[in-house]
Chains A and B, each alone.
Chain A
């Protein structure tokens, strides 16, 4: 097989003989700190950065006996839907090398789909686990905000992101979630609810009596090649005793705009640390602080990262905060409230994970807004802090994989795992 560029750094390590992940290979997204192993975030800015400590999730995976096989390719600082914004070049889709692997955790999903690793960790700020899982035909879980420690995750948008598992089966993804879930004193946003050690057993396929809501906002205008596999998955659930209900969540129409304003605003602040002095590549030490800082960031950051930092700076600048950031926060509360109300009558929300089939390589580069809009079905989950899973539907070999997404109420991962396992092939 051709090199699909899943890895930025390969690691030759040995797991231990004990623990739930003994004998298992795990690949780790390259924005998760690994002690002594370079962690680049897919950026020239950090191409030689070596973290002095392990992220909490990495400590847990090592303690569970796993063999870590490498650090996976990603869109620069997690900013992208295709893994094409990586300084290290795009990851190719293992099912069709003319297609993208999705992003931003494209390397993590492709490594699992191609068999280069049994499990992987991704991170999801606005769909970055679920999108590549859908495009590569594997299973990805974005946990409830606070279920998994973010300590050691290099920040892009702290209020939205979570680390989560990618695997070939629902049960395996749940098994890795069991290992990484749980409160951590080093992450004050982590919560002591739904502790690890009990998700995998819910991958039973049992869904008799479950009520599933399908929001009209997430299926209208959808590509037929995506909608048909989704509808046949819903048929399968009906046959297994589920009730499928159409629901409406009007706030979702505003979610993409709100998501990008919040994520870009947080990015503009988080990425201020890359000044060429404390972190990052230095442009040389001529000029004053402002000149050196600005020149280092010109050479260290790629276009998409510059675009998002600048737009975030604009959204937070004098005169525009109320118009953009405050409004976006209001949409965030609105989305959360609408989901909360919906979960009084239904147990899980279902939709296609992505509104489109996997993009062709190079297709999105010229039109960033088009790329942003393709996140319509994934970003509401991050705004509301909810858990979600993406699982492959039955897809056509010629057009590429299609994912089905289930969303649950906070800390209801077990319901998602049950729902997803019911349509697993």
Chain B
């Protein structure tokens, strides 16, 4: 098993980029401290007996029959109000 790297501010910034959540400097500082503590608690899982994982799963299918879909105006009632009706608005693709 690979040794765990110590969690530092750079680790937290890297994860925040992967998770796509900007953090301010205070949050980076607090999370660095808390993550060290929480992740070292997770080391309790280093000692877990071998156990067979039995998955109790089967396919669930339904009849392929036509049903009404949601009305357009209800689906789009949550879009940004500056947006033209019936469109989702996103940033420009450059």
Contacts and interface: CB of A to CB of B under 8 A. Distances in A.
Nearest to B45: A327
Contacts of A277: 88-90
B94 to A, nearest CB: 6
Interface in A257-278: 257-258, 260-261, 268, 272, 275, 277-278
A55 B77 CA distance: 18
A349 interface: no
Given A286-B91, A310-B31, A52 B18 contact: no
A303 B45 contact: no
B54 A333 contact: yes
Interface in B1-39: 1-2, 4, 11-12, 15-24, 27, 31, 34-35, 37-39
A330 B51 contact: yes
A286 B1 CA distance: 43
A331 B77 CA distance: 43
A289 B22 contact: no
B48 to A, nearest CB: 5
Given A268-B19, A324-B42, A289 B53 contact: no
A418 B2 CA distance: 49
Nearest to B21: A297
Interface string B53-94: 110000010100000001100110110100000001111111
A310 B16 contact: yes
Nearest to A317: B18
Contacts of A253: 44
For the side of the interface on B, what is the size category? 35 or more
Interface residues of A, number: 60
B21 A294 contact: yes
Contacts of A95: none
B35 to A, nearest CB: 7
B80 to A, nearest CB: 6
A10 interface: no
Given A309-B19, A310-B15, A52 B89 contact: no
24 contacts: A49-B78, A52-B71, A254-B48, A260-B42, A278-B88, A286-B91, A288-B91, A288-B92, A288-B94, A291-B91, A294-B21, A295-B22, A298-B24, A307-B34, A310-B16, A310-B35, A314-B39, A323-B45, A327-B45, A330-B53, A333-B52, A334-B48, A368-B34, A372-B38
Given A282-B80, A290-B20, A369-B38, 5 more contacts: A298-B21, A307-B31, A310-B19, A330-B53, A368-B38
